[in-house]
Amino acid sequence: MKGFLPRTLHPGLQILLLLVTMLAGACVGLAVYYALAQALFHTSVLEASNVMVQPGTNPQAWPLIMTYQGAVLFFAFAGGALALASALGYGWGEYFNARRLGAGWWLLGAAALIIVLLPFMSTVIAWNAGAHFPGFLHDFEVWARASEDRLAELTKFLTRLNSVGRLVVAIVVVALVPAIGEELVFRGVVQRNLVRWFSPHVGVWLGAAIFSAIHMQFFGFVPRFLLGLVLGYLYLWSGNILVSMAAHFTQNAFQLLILYFTQQGRFGWGFDPDATEPLPWTLVVPSALLSAGLLYFLHQRLTAPAAPTTMLTLSSEGVAVHRNDNQ
């Protein structure tokens, strides 16, 4: 595949060009949103724009905002990352999957790690939510908390999962689309180029910091940064973007399922998935230990050289054995 940009383009320039392709993708996504709003909900461009600011004024606010989120996020993130890879002359599999998926259990292992990690993460979430900035940043702290409160209200509105249909839409828009788009951007492009620019560990840590900062949730920065580290190392070890996608999807989808069953009254212990209180230490300590063990196991397995394959060919001279030692 031939692109119009050199593959040797500096990593920093590739990241800057990613911003350009993401902006173009966002414009495409916005156009798609307005078209779908008109075709599916008979909503004008002005009404479709206002619903993002005042969702309570439109009875179709929930499906409209979900359509907006899905369209803009998919075309900006997934579209932007894939467009950059094509512009550099790479096939998508070649650019994002430096190593073939070794086995299906890689995906299951990544998903299991995220679920096991959740109780431990609850303590980090609780600590970060109660953090305070130094005195000279008091005004910034007030602004940051007010911004997060507004975002929390929108999140609560979008996660009113009062039907199976809403749950399915939420899983697609809130879990699947971000798992694909954000992983392609933050791990597939940003981390990949930071690793080339600096070193593997620096690339993973810087990529995780950018991943967390871009969400603009300052009182959730640390837990999202830790999640970014886990996703980053899963991609670094496996060399396959599907592994970090599986973990990212599990993180979002599992919380949506808990939220849905809680709202349906299926959980009787009064569990609030939106709360920032930590879970009991009887769950947190085993979670930390099991997570560490599972991380070590995944590191050992994902970084192990692939087993050589043996090929047999039949010729006039008999059977010839060929070994392939490539990963």
Among 52, 68, 96, residue at a domain's last position? 96
pLDDT at 317 over 90: no
Question: CA-CA distance, 144 to 131, in Å (whole number)?
Answer: 12
29 and 105 inside one domain? no
Q: Among 248, 252, 239, 234, which residue's Cα sits nearest to residue 295? A: 234
Residue whose C-alpha is closest to residue 212's, from 193, 232, 196? 232
* 131 and 59 part of one domain: no
Domain that holds residue 152: 98-324
Tokens of 119: 């109780």
Q: Indicate the number of domains in the chain.
A: 2
pLDDT band at 43 (very low <50, low <70, confident <90, very high): very high
80 and 128 within one domain: no
CA dist., res. 55 & res. 254, Å (int): 26
Same domain, 46 and 107: no
Q: How far apart are CA 247 and CA 252, in angstroms?
A: 9
* pLDDT beyond 50 at 46: yes
Amino acid at 313: T
Q: Is the pLDDT of residue 274 over 60?
A: no
For the segment 102-140, what is each residue's pLDDT rounded down to a tens digit? 888 999 999 999 999 999 999 999 999 888 888 888 888
Whether 58 and 147 map to the same domain: the answer is: no
Whether the pLDDT of residue 318 is over 60: the answer is no
What pLDDT score does 319 carry? 47
Q: Tokens standing for 299?
A: 């590191």
Burial of 148 (0-12, 13-18, 19+ CB in 10 A): middle
CA distance 110 to 301: 12
Mean pLDDT of the chain: 89
Structure confidence at residue 60 (pLDDT)? 92
Q: Specify the pLDDT at position 306.
A: 66
pLDDT band at 327 (very low <50, low <70, confident <90, very high): very low
148 shares a domain with 30: no
117 and 161 together in one domain: yes
**Tens digit of each residue's pLDDT (9 = 90 or more) over 59-91:** 899 999 999 999 999 999 999 999 999 999 999
Angle at 131 between CA 128 and CA 132, to 5 degrees: 155
d(CA 228, CA 220): 12
Query: Which tokens sit at 162?
Result: 């009062």
Q: What is the model's pLDDT at position 308?
A: 58
Residues 82 and 163 both lie in one domain: no
Are 69 and 21 found together in one domain?
yes
Q: Which residue has the tokens 């070590």?
A: 296
Percent pLDDT > 70 in the chain is 90
Same domain, 87 and 131: no
Q: Find the helix packing angle between 11-41 and 79-87, rounded to 10°.
A: 130
One domain, residues 91 and 148: no
Residue 266 φ then ψ, to 5°: -80, -25
Taking a C-beta distance cutoff of 8 angstroms, is the pair 217, 224 a contact? yes
Of the residues 62, 81, 96, the one at which a domain ends: 96
Q: For residue 267, what pLDDT band results from cuts at 50, 70 and 90?
A: low
| 13 — pLDDT class (breaks 50, 70, 90) | very high
Last-in-domain residue among 96, 119, 138: 96
Give per-residue pLDDT as tens, 285-308: 999 999 999 999 999 999 988 655
Radius of gyration (Cα) for the chain, nearest Å?
22
Model confidence at 2, pLDDT cuts 50, 70, 90, reads confident
HEC string of the chain equals CCCCCCCCCCHHHHHHHHHHHHHHHHHHHHHHHHHHHHHHHCCCHHHHHHCCCCHHHCCCHHHHHHHHHHHHHHHHHHHHHHHHHHHCCCCHHHHHECCCCCCCHHHHHHHHHHHHHHHHHHHHHHHHHCCCCCHHHHHHHHHHHHHHHHHHHHHHHHCCCCCHHHHHHHHHHHHHHHHHHHHHHHHHHHHHHHHHHCCHHHHHHHHHHHHHHCCCCHHHHHHHHHHHHHHHHHHHHHCEHHHHHHHHHHHHHHHHHHHHHHHCCCCCCCCCCCCCCCCCHHHHHHHHHHHHHHHHHHHHHHCCCCCCEEEEEEECCEEEEEEECCC
Mark whether 134 and 216 lie in a shared domain: yes
Q: What is the pLDDT of residues 143-196, one digit of tens each?
A: 888 888 888 888 888 888 999 999 999 999 999 999 999 999 999 999 999 999
How many other β-carbons are positioned within 10 Å of the β-carbon of residue 2?
4
